[in-house]
């Protein structure tokens, strides 16, 4: 059975998941990589869009909407006495030399580029990063310098986006293998409760395919930008239930007469 047919079968058939315990470990590892790739597709698409569109909006905002400013000795100064905030097409741009807006406030928006008094905040695809100006020793930048930096980043975004995407994929793959391994450990307890004879290798293979249904569900929700409350708990609960159903599909060992 090819890997895509396995993907389809794993959505609804615990019996097939139980059968997959006999296949080679290499094919199961490949399946985990495939499932991980599918799960991060929405994040990569939104990240690529956020970087591309965010850079364009940031340049427009800085050029047309912000007064002259500079970052020197770890502090932002600007020709304004109040914070400047602009929301446009799902992006938020903030310039605040007053200290009124905190990094947490700036990170509340989905896609944000914020120059605050002592730090700048970049939020994209649900991930927020904060950088202190003081960490960048010798930083001395003004409005024109920043525009030149943004132009330079725009020129190499065709490299930045693939590199960031690969890093996301690698970290997500590592997390997926850890999750499957933990689920297989839980499977050791489940197989004892169900009275089935299985080793850890069998359970690891079954655990990988048991992740299919929750992974596809949360991928669809991410693509629709729909927040699911208690997603962590739901993910584990569904995976454990699917694994238990698969274990129960395995015949009980015959008792010695």
- Per residue in 176-208, pLDDT (tens digit) is 999 999 999 999 999 999 889 999 999 999 999
State yes or no: pLDDT of 256 exceeds 60: no
Alpha carbon distance 172, 37 (integer Å): 8
Q: Which residues contact 77 (CB under 8 A, 6 or more apart)?
A: 69, 70, 71, 97
Report the chain's C-alpha Rg in angstroms.
25
12-21, 49-58, 165-174, 242-251: which has the minimum mean pLDDT?
49-58
Q: pTM for this structure? A: 0.74
User: At 93, which helix (H) or strand (E)?
Assistant: strand 91-95
What pLDDT digit, counting tens, does each position of 6-47 carry? 999 999 999 999 999 999 999 999 999 999 999 999 988 888
- Going by their DSSP bridges, the two strands 91-95 and 84-88 should be labelled as antiparallel
The residues with which 121 forms a beta bridge, in sequence order, are: 114, 130
pLDDT tens digits, one per residue of 110-165: 778 888 888 888 776 566 778 888 877 677 788 888 888 888 888 888 888 898 89
Residues contacting residue 252 through CB under 8 Å, at least 6 positions apart? 195, 196
Over pLDDT 90: what percentage of the chain? 44
Whether 254 shows a pLDDT value over 80: the answer reads no
Residue 175 confidence class, pLDDT cut points 50, 70, 90: very high
């Amino acid at each position: 059975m090819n890997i895509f047919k396995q993907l389809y079968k794993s959505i609804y058939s615990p019996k097939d998941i139980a059968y997959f315990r006999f296949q080679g470990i290499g094919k199961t590892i490949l399946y985990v990589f495939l499932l991980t790739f599918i799960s991060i597709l929405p994040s990569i698409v939104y990240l690529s869009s956020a970087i591309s569109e965010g850079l364009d909006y940031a340049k427009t905002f800085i050029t047309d909407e912000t007064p002259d400013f500079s970052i020197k000795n770890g502090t932002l100064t600007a020709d304004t006495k109040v914070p400047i905030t602009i929301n446009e097409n799902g992006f938020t741009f903030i310039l605040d030399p007053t200290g009124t807006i905190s990094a947490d406030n700036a990170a509340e928006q989905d896609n944000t580029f914020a120059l605050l008094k002592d730090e700048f905040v970049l939020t994209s695809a649900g991930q927020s990063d904060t950088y202190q100006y003081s960490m960048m020793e010798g930083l001395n930048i003004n409005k024109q310098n920043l525009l030149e930096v943004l132009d330079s980043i725009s020129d190499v975004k065709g490299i930045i986006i693939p590199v960031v995407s690969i890093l996301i994929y690698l970290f997500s793959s590592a997390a997926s293998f850890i999750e499957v391994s933990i689920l297989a450990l839980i499977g050791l307890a489940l197989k004892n409760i169900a009275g089935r004879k299985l080793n850890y290798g069998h359970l690891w293979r079954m655990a990988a395919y048991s992740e299919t249904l929750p992974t596809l569900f949360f991928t669809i929700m991410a693509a629709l930008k729909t927040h699911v409350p208690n997603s962590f708990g739901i993910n584990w609960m569904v995976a454990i239930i699917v694994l238990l159903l698969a274990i129960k599909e395995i015949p009980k060992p015959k008792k010695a007469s």
